[in-house]
Amino acid sequence: MKRITIKSIILLGLWNLFTLNPLIAQSDNWPQFRGINSSGIAAEHQDPPERFGPELNMIWNSELSSGQSSPCIWQDNIFITGYEKEDSLLIMYCLDRTLGIIKWQKEIRVKEVEKVHFTSSPANATPATDGERVIFYFSSFGLLCFDFDGELKWEFPMAVPESVHGMGTSPVISGDLVILNCFGNNNDPSLLALNKYDGKITWKHTSHVQEDEVVDSYSTPVVYYDRIIIYRSKDVSAYDIHTGKRIWNYVVDLSDAVGTPVIGNDILYVTFFSTRGNRLLREAFPDYTTVSLQYDENMDGLLSKEEVKDFTFHPYPEKGDLIEPFSLFDMFGFWDTNNDEFIDYSEWIKVIKDNESFYDRQGLKAIRLGGEGDINFNNFLWVNSDKVPHITSPLYFKNLVYTVKSGGIVACFDAETGELQFRERIGAAGAYFASPVIANNKIYFASINGIVTVIEAGNRFNILAKNDLDDKISATPAIVDNKLYIRTSSSLSVFGD
């Protein structure tokens, strides 16, 4: 029997304390995507400015190559990545946090760059650190480990994955393990754990998918005691951190699994999104009679591909002009279920009803953590299916859960009951790719258009400030040392009073 010592109990307690209670995390560290365990919560005493901009409260601004990774910060070091398309160059930066100058820079030129969504980047993953090593991940290369002086300790090359929109996940470090979610790789869907000291595989959990089945997962792992939790388009599952064995799963059947779940009071909050469940999208498709009157040129009661060539719709209408309209001509096969080259009344109705069914299956859901096997029945707490974010992660703080979706729609829910506290437009439209972060009761929401809106935390909606950075923002901000670190399309800026 394994002996349990007082020292091991203390170490386990400290590990749980810092992993599960981000409010007491060290103020000078933001060690991975969204800080401690992807929570988005700064240390309790942090107080970054609520008003800032290119001419206000800016401490320094450092130009970077393009990329969408967020700042990873440990004491006086900022780790971040970049990409130069012309040379297929993947770049790793270490910046001085006080001065903004580059301490060291490493580059990798690759022969093949993974195909990503046009709104994304090959430099998408946020680095992770434990204060001793820093881990970089590029889906076009694999994993690399450096010490803080820029010395390469090991690398783990990986084949370029086949994914729908590119691998959106970021690595995390837990104990002696580097954890990487590879479930979005259709060639080798898996969860990978490497030894952080030598880069060798400790364990690998491979997922078996059916032929022609696509299982998306762009989410970053979160850790709950000795469990690793992964969100995929088919389920949310927990895996033993020591063996990779799946312990429990909560089954869903939707499309994109983008946002990273958050944990609060032993409850997991995750946004299950479906494009087809979007009410604004469904409103683009009128009843069949209305469509026929406009597009059925030969009046035969059927719609041919040629007849509907001018029928267009926005799959994400709340994202504005960022996403080009889709054409029914290009998506014709989705409606023509019997493959007879026509859309009839029954096919049109079937697609509309199918889309409506996705509305009830999606939503911000609260799932009680724990148990084994299928936990759908015993652990489900509540769901809100309306206006679900597609990309951004939720934020849990003081028994409230906040979300922001494209269009600038912010919602707040009671974390225990799911009761809606408010849902308001913050007056900054467009797409939202950056997830919200919080410090000193102030929540920061950054839009793709460069508008950072600050609201007061609580169950009453109150805008404190609105700041225009005059550049696009896709990366989630970081908060360290009473300062706000924001990566835009061209640079990294730091704001503080």
- Domains, the chain, in order of start with CATH, read 6-274+362-495 (2.130.10.10), 279-359 (1.10.238.10)
Distances (CA, A) of 384 to 9, 99, 249, 374: 39, 45, 20, 21
Q: What is the pLDDT of residue 213?
A: 65
pLDDT, one tens digit per residue, over 367-407 is 999 999 999 999 999 999 888 898 999 999 999 999 999 99
With a cut of 50, which residues of the chain have pLDDT below it? 1-26
pLDDT for res 427: 94
Contacts 24+ apart (CB under 8 A), 106-110: 106/144, 106/146, 106/150, 106/152, 108/138, 108/141, 108/144, 110/138, 110/140, 110/141
Q: How far is CA 27 from the centre of its chain?
A: 23
Taking only the tens place, the pLDDT of each residue in 191-201 is 999 999 999 99
- Contact yes or no for 452/469 (Cβ under 8 A): yes
* Whole-angstrom distance, CA of residue 335 vs CA of residue 326: 14
293, 426 contact by CB (below 8 A): no
In the sheet with 102-109, reading across from the earlier edge strand, the strands are: 29-30, 72-74, 77-84, 89-96, 102-109
Would you state the pLDDT for residue 22? 42
> Per this entry, what is the length of the chain?
497
Provide the pLDDT for residue 497.
Answer: 87
Task: Quote the pLDDT of residue 307.
Answer: 85
Q: Give Cβ neighbours of residue 227 (< 8 Å, ≥ 6 apart).
A: 238, 239, 240, 241, 247, 369
Give the number of other CB atoms < 10 A from CB of residue 49: 19
For helices 288-295 and 345-361, what crossing angle results, to 10°? 130
Tokens representing 142?
Answer: 């694999």
Strand order in the sheet with 128-129: 128-129, 133-138, 142-147, 152-157
Measuring CA to CA, which residue among 411, 417, 422 is closest to residue 381?
417
CB of 260 within 8 A of CB of 231?
Answer: yes
